[in-house]
Amino acid sequence: MIILVCAFFTNCASASNWYVRGGAACSINGNGTTSGCASAPGGAGAWSGFSNIPWSSIAGGDKLFLYSGDVYVGPLTVGASGSSGNVITISVTGGGTAHIDANGNTAINFNGHSYVTIDGVIGSPAFGGSTTMGISVTNIGASGYCAYEGSGGHHFKLMHVECSGTSVGSSQPDDNRGGFFLSASGSGKGGVEVAYNYIHGPAKSPFSNQKWGATCVTLWGATGTANFDDNLQHDNRCDQIYNDGLRCGANCSIYHNEVSHVDGSGHSDSLLIQSGSYSAVFGNYVHDSYDQNIYFDNLYDSACGHVRIYNNVINSPGGHGGINLDPEGAAGPASSITGCTGSSAAWDDVVIANNTFYQSSTYNVYWSGRGAVRNLAVLNNIFGQVSMGGGGWYPVYVGAGTSFASGDRWDYNAYSGTSIGYPTIAHTSSDYALAGLRALSPARELNGKIGIPLFVNITIGDFHLTVLDTVAKNAGMNLSSVYSFLQTDGDGKQRPTTGAWDLGAYEVSSLSGSQVNPPVNLTVSVQ
């Protein structure tokens, strides 16, 4: 019977567990078969240090264990690939954290290998959860990386890793350094997942060039498909960074991450989609970050599209702005693998729905004025206070060159009445108050409203609506038959299939709360 079963499955071969210890913990190099130290060279015991791993011995389905409490001198350079259904897993045993000293260089290099999972296992850091990861990386070089792949590898995972650096901010080509830099573009490639990681520098004041001069995650993995989930960045915590937070291109979803204190370079973007189609940013919490909180930057002279931005919470009182749609162009035509087409820069088919904005300095939604934004939908959002409205900034600033998907696709949004520029709430070809938007042809915001919703507890960053709210509760359009991806809220809670939806990222909570006007210089403390 066993023989018959294995004839139909490819992973029946016996997988092996292997062990590597830090060189200081086990100075004698063993045969890798146990976690203890060998008593003689080649005897039963762990390999001593990364350089002594005989990668030819490791096959698909095998697991390689680091040992908690040990310190390893990097790099960990992967030397073998698994296969679909038989990945190589690198993890930690011993119940604690293994430490990798990058020795002033790059700590982890996938080295062109595929179907490899690096998973430290301990902790889930997003939204203020655990920040104790099973693998901890320090002493990253100024031009090095916590983890790197740029040699053709694909279908790899990087999870439960803490990555911290101290090299101060400086100008670097396209902000690529410091954190994770991962490339897996190409037909049949992608398959990258970056999840449950904690990437951070030391705490510094806003705009300080003494912050870690890094980008938390850069992931390029265009596959040429019409999929939003060929590559994933989720449940990561990114904090105290000089350059960018989480970056991705085509065929990528960035979701359920917490990003804060990303600023200093003058173009520090907390969440960035660059030059790629079929991309989604949803369910994230961005707070106390400056410059663009969510930035869609199309460098190509082509139209990239099918963009979904929803269920996010943004609260950056001193931040430059919320969502910036910038089809800047000038880099020439796009490669077909990106899903971008044509000969003029644009973002096309853009849905911005059910987001909660609380405070920003300049705008909540903005078109840069370069290229074009086409087939835009702005629905069911809570637009918060804009503190620099007197300078010409308003919650929605889209310009006359922006076209909407249909006449009713700018509607059902709530606007704060506390912005400096109020009663002006939007700019298209001119500045408009709510009544002015409704007088346009086609009419905009016929179901829009002015007011500040009642949130559970803004001082601890809880932007769920309370049952006492009368501004956002049951004030939204039911989009379940229009955009299926919106059928669940930021918590994964099912939205109603019939009847009105609530505005913002979350359906109403049963909790009570109180809130009047937005506080000034709010700082959210994440434990």
Q: How many domains does the chain have?
A: 2
Residues 43 and 77 in one domain: no
Task: Give pLDDT tens digits for 246-304.
Answer: 999 999 999 999 999 998 877 889 999 999 999 999 999 999 998 889 999 999 999 99
Residues 64 and 86 in one domain: yes
Of 168-172, 396-400, 465-469, 483-487, the poorest mean pLDDT is in 168-172
Q: Residue 228 — very low, low, confident or very high, per pLDDT cuts 50/70/90?
A: very high
Rg of the chain, C-alpha, whole Å: 24
Considering the domain boundaries, does residue 232 fall inside one?
yes
Residues 35 and 66 in one domain: no
DSSP conformation letters of 328-378:
---S-SPPGGGT-BSSS-EEEEEEEES-EEEEESSEEEEE-SSSEEEEEEE
d(CA 332, CA 38): 58
Backbone φ and ψ for 338, nearest 5 degrees, come out as: -80, -15
Q: What is the mean pLDDT of residues 139-147?
A: 93
Q: Residue 8 — very low, low, confident or very high, per pLDDT cuts 50/70/90?
A: very low
User: Is it the case that residue 236 has pLDDT exceeding 70?
Assistant: yes
Q: Residue 520 — very low, low, confident or very high, per pLDDT cuts 50/70/90?
A: very low
Backbone φ and ψ for 389, nearest 5 degrees, come out as: -60, -30
Q: If you search the block for the tokens 């604690």, which residue do you land on? A: 96
pLDDT at 388: 78
Helix, strand counts (H, E) of the chain: 2, 43
Residues 256 and 121 in one domain: yes
CA angle 359, 294, 461 (to 5 degrees): 40
pLDDT at 145: 95
pLDDT at 517: 32
Task: Give pLDDT tens digits for 76-119.
Answer: 999 999 999 999 999 999 999 999 999 999 999 999 999 999 99
Residues 82 and 45 in one domain: no
Considering the domain boundaries, does residue 70 fall inside one?
yes
In sequence order, the 6+-apart residues with CB closer than 8 A to the CB of 342 are 302, 303
Bridge partners, residue 351, by sequence: 308, 377
More confident residue, 162 or 319: 162
- The length of the chain is 527
User: Is it the case that residue 523 has pLDDT exceeding 60?
Assistant: no
pLDDT at 1: 38
Fill in the DSSP letter of residue 454.
-
Cβ pair 35, 21 in contact under 8 A: yes
Residues 167 and 64 in one domain: yes
DSSP conformation letters of 247-278:
EE-SSEEEES-EEEEE-SSSS--SEEEES-SS
Q: What is the mean pLDDT of residues 469-494?
A: 96
Considering the domain boundaries, does residue 510 fall inside one?
no
Last residue of a domain, one of 251, 268, 285: 268
Residues 155 and 126 in one domain: yes
Calculate the alpha carbon distances from 270 to 260, 285, 290 in Å. 8, 10, 8
Q: Which of 451, 382, 388 is nearest to 412 (CA)?
A: 382
Q: Residue 345 — very low, low, confident or very high, per pLDDT cuts 50/70/90?
A: very high
Last residue of a domain, one of 233, 252, 268: 268
pLDDT at 89: 98
Considering the domain boundaries, does residue 247 fall inside one?
yes
Residues 154 and 217 in one domain: yes
pLDDT at 321: 82
What range does the domain containing 43 cover?
19-53
Q: How many CA atoms lie within 13 A of 505 on its CB side?
A: 26
Please say whether the dihedral angle defined by the alpha carbons of residues 42, 43, 44 and 45, taken in this order, is positive or negative. negative
Q: What is the mean pLDDT of residues 420-445?
A: 95
Considering the domain boundaries, does residue 4 fall inside one?
no
What percentage of the chain reaches a pLDDT higher than 90? 80
User: Is it the case that residue 525 has pLDDT exceeding 50?
Assistant: no
d(CA 466, CA 455): 6
pLDDT at 391: 63
As given in the structure block, the two tokens for residue 332 are 């020439």
pLDDT, averaged across the chain: 90
User: Is it the case that residue 18 has pLDDT exceeding 70?
Assistant: yes
Residues 82 and 135 in one domain: yes
d(CA 449, CA 38): 71
Cβ pair 262, 294 in contact under 8 A: no
Spell out the SS3 assignment of 373-398: EEEEEEECCEECEECCHHHCCCCEEC
More confident residue, 509 or 406: 406
Considering the domain boundaries, does residue 125 fall inside one?
yes
User: Is it the case that residue 389 has pLDDT exceeding 70?
Assistant: no
Considering the domain boundaries, does residue 194 fall inside one?
yes
Of 29-38, 332-341, 391-400, the poorest mean pLDDT is in 391-400
Identity of the amino acid at 487: Q
CA angle 277, 376, 218 (to 5 degrees): 35
Task: Give pLDDT tens digits for 107-122.
Answer: 999 999 999 999 998 8
Residues 38 and 76 in one domain: no
In sequence order, the 6+-apart residues with CB closer than 8 A to the CB of 481 are none
d(CA 156, CA 108): 13
* β 426-427/396-397 pair status: parallel
Bridge partners, residue 161, by sequence: 135
Considering the domain boundaries, does residue 410 fall inside one?
no
Identity of the amino acid at 436: G
Task: Give pLDDT tens digits for 189-215.
Answer: 999 999 999 999 999 888 788 889 899
Fill in the DSSP letter of residue 56.
G
Backbone φ and ψ for 5, nearest 5 degrees, come out as: -65, -45
pLDDT at 266: 75
Q: Residue 13 — very low, low, confident or very high, per pLDDT cuts 50/70/90?
A: low
User: Is it the case that residue 3 has pLDDT exceeding 70?
Assistant: no
* β 431-432/426-427 pair status: antiparallel
Residues 30 and 85 in one domain: no
Residues 118 and 259 in one domain: yes
Cβ pair 480, 487 in contact under 8 A: yes
Last residue of a domain, one of 36, 53, 70: 53
pLDDT at 514: 38
User: Is it the case that residue 35 has pLDDT exceeding 50?
Assistant: yes
